[in-house]
Structure 1
Amino acid sequence: MAKTQTLKCLIIDDEPLSQDVIRDFIEACPELELSGICNDALEAGQLLKQKNIDLLFLDINMPKLSGIGFVKSIKEPPLFILVTAYPEFALEGFEVDAVDYLLKPVSFERFRAAVNRALERYSSREESTSQHIMVRANKKDYRLNFDEIIYLEAQGDYVRFVTETQSLMVHGRFKDFIAQLPESQFGRIHKSYVVSLAKVVYLEGNRVNIGETKLPVSLSFREEFVTKFNA
């Protein structure tokens, strides 16, 4: 890895002994920082709203909501390592993209191997995070930084990219371009419009004021957009 990462960790387990073991292991790894311990998934859900967590050590068999059910309920879950006494859950764990699967009682050697996998995946994720999108218009290739894009508009087989300095008509599918935009920076307001959250001046009724333009907000996208806009 190009640089040493420090991952903020959260333990989610209803067994005190297991909590203590994982906590001691985390404290023995300089790349890890313990941010909290939760007894169940519902408590963890509240904490994730308050803190930025990079890695979960997650028990599967818990009351109220299972560990796997918990990660499925999160739109963009942190990296997570499953910790459980039940080997029969291994396949289901990897189907939800777990970094690794630790079987209790966990040895430090096995724990360390799982942490190394998490560090590698975290590093790859950081390196692959782009701050721009490449588009082709007027037989030219344009590099558009996300922070200069104001909004996108679907127009048949084309998508219009409106930036602070220009408007480009780009051939392609609207949904494909949306998939390349960071969800934390952009919000869909209509079947034909995606806007930069940072560029929205205000929301009034069924319209947003963005830059010097007013765009429609459809009922089907309004609730999700309002949640993002107010975050």
Structure 2
Amino acid sequence: MIKCAIIDDEPLSRDILRQFIEDHPDLILTAEYKDALEAISGLERQSVDLLLLDINMPKLSGVNFYKSLQEKPLVIFTTAYPEFALEGFELDAVDYLMKPIAFDRFLQAIQKVKNRLKTTSEEIPEHIMLKVDKKLYRAAFDDILYLEAFGDYAKVHLINQVLIITSTMKRLEAELPSELFVRTHKSYLINISKVEFIEGNQVKIGSGMIPIGLRYREVVLGKLR
């Protein structure tokens, strides 16, 4: 998930961007600010991966605000004034969106963000970000015992707690590294390193016995060898 923050003094623009983020499966809105000054203290408390930053704002422009940041997340500048585009790109902006912003153009910009994040990543991540209500939890792979389907939700069984998140097992399986996690059943994903033993068609992890479905058995046994 790409953590986003909106910084824009126009309520309508914030509404549109908020909806675009909610409609995109790879994005999560973690902060929203009505001007750059409000964002300064907010971003010190909570870092993000991507800023959707309006350029023409009172008191402090988006460009000057971005220049002032010591730790600079990726940025997509938004504005109704095309004359600001050059200055935005000089700051290595991922993209520059003209208002009113169309959803297809927004999708193009986000794809550029994903490409940039992919090419700048130097190591395999050791955690996954899990959305619980309006909070975003950082769960280390090594803390995850197993994941369990739970109706329209999923339970993530950690060493010290259980999180209930809005996600499908298919999506979780795609987000977790296959060298560390394996599907044992249509309703279960396990952390391979946490398996204590296999007994019949079950594996012991923590205090739980996790079933191994017939269609998954060969793959599971191959991973555990």
Q: Provide TM-score, normalisation by structure 1.
A: 0.52
CA RMSD of aligned residues (A): 1.2
1:33 equivalenced with 2:40 (yes/no):
no
C-alpha distance in 2 between matches for 1:19 and 1:113: 19
Question: What is the DSSP-based 3-state SS (H/G/I as helix, E as strand, rest coil) of the residue aligned with 2:122?
Answer: helix
CA offset digits 1:69-95 (Å, max 9, x no partner): 011001221000001000000001000
2:170 aligned residue: none
Identical residues among aligned pairs (%): 56
CA offset digits 1:81-140 (Å, max 9, x no partner): 0010000000010001110000000000000000000111112122379xxxxxxxxxxx
C-alpha distance in 2 between matches for 1:97 and 1:47: 23
C-alpha distance in 2 between matches for 1:103 and 1:113: 13
C-alpha distance in 1 between matches for 2:106 and 2:10: 17
Correspondences of 1:50-129 after superposition (within 5 Å):
50-127=45-122
C-alpha distance in 1 between matches for 2:123 and 2:91: 21
One-letter identity of the residue aligned with 2:15: D
C-alpha distance in 2 between matches for 1:128 and 1:89: 35
C-alpha distance in 2 between matches for 1:115 and 1:90: 18
Question: What is the DSSP-based 3-state SS (H/G/I as helix, E as strand, rest coil) of the residue aligned with 1:121?
Answer: helix
Question: What is the DSSP-based 3-state SS (H/G/I as helix, E as strand, rest coil) of the residue aligned with 1:9?
Answer: strand
Change (3 A) 1:128 1:69: farther
Question: What is the DSSP-based 3-state SS (H/G/I as helix, E as strand, rest coil) of the residue aligned with 2:70?
Answer: coil
1:21 equivalenced with 2:19 (yes/no):
no
One-letter identity of the residue aligned with 2:3: K
One-letter identity of the residue aligned with 1:125: T
C-alpha distance in 2 between matches for 1:123 and 1:45: 27
Unaligned segments of structure 1, at least 5 residues: 1-5, 130-231
Q: CA offset at residue 11 of structure 1?
A: 0.2
Question: What is the DSSP-based 3-state SS (H/G/I as helix, E as strand, rest coil) of the residue aligned with 2:47?
Answer: coil
Aligned pairs, how many?
124
C-alpha distance in 2 between matches for 1:46 and 1:97: 23
One-letter identity of the residue aligned with 2:96: Y
One-letter identity of the residue aligned with 1:110: R
Question: What is the DSSP-based 3-state SS (H/G/I as helix, E as strand, rest coil) of the residue aligned with 1:109?
Answer: helix
C-alpha distance in 1 between matches for 2:47 and 2:71: 12
Question: What is the DSSP-based 3-state SS (H/G/I as helix, E as strand, rest coil) of the residue aligned with 1:116?
Answer: helix
Q: CA offset at residue 8 of structure 1?
A: 0.5
Structure 1 runs (4+) deviating above 6 angstroms are none
Change (3 A) 1:128 1:90: farther
Q: Provide TM-score, normalisation by structure 2.
A: 0.54
C-alpha distance in 2 between matches for 1:80 and 1:54: 9
